[in-house]
């Protein structure tokens, strides 16, 4: 490659505010821009009674299975 990366052209599709693309040091770089959230005071194993299933408008059906254990919650 030569500087800048050649031939390279960003072809971001969809919501362009979600990703930044640039070239540096002979490579193409993509940076995903998202929300930063923080959690505090998390300790112990979560209980199934502490979780509530909610519908996602993009996927309106509940998952076929969901489990909570010492490794966490998954659907």
Distance, CA of 57 to CA of 49 (rounded, Å)? 23
Q: Does residue 43 lie within any of the structural domains?
A: yes
Instruction: Count the domains in the chain.
Output: 1
Choice between 5 and 45, residue whose per-residue pLDDT is larger: 45
Q: Given this model, what pLDDT does residue 21 score?
A: 78
Q: Given this model, what pLDDT does residue 26 score?
A: 74
Distance, CA of 35 to CA of 40 (rounded, Å)? 17
Q: Does residue 2 lie within any of the structural domains?
A: no
Q: State pTM to two decimals.
A: 0.29
Q: Given this model, what pLDDT does residue 57 score?
A: 79
| DSSP letter, residue 62 | P
Q: Does residue 10 lie within any of the structural domains?
A: no
Q: Does residue 30 lie within any of the structural domains?
A: no
pLDDT, one tens digit per residue, over 19-54 is 777 777 777 787 877 766 665 666 666 666 776 667
Confidence of residue 6 (pLDDT cuts 50, 70, 90): low
Q: Does residue 48 lie within any of the structural domains?
A: yes
Q: Does residue 34 lie within any of the structural domains?
A: no
Q: Does residue 14 lie within any of the structural domains?
A: no
Q: Range of 43's domain?
A: 39-74
Q: Does residue 57 lie within any of the structural domains?
A: yes
């Amino acid at each position: 490659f030569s500087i800048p990366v050649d031939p390279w052209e960003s072809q971001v599709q969809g919501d362009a505010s979600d990703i930044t693309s640039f070239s540096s040091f002979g490579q193409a770089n993509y940076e995903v821009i998202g929300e930063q959230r923080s959690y505090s005071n998390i300790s112990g194993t979560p209980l199934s009674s502490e979780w509530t299933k909610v519908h996602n408008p993009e996927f309106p059906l509940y998952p076929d299975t969901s489990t909570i254990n010492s490794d966490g919650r998954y659907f």
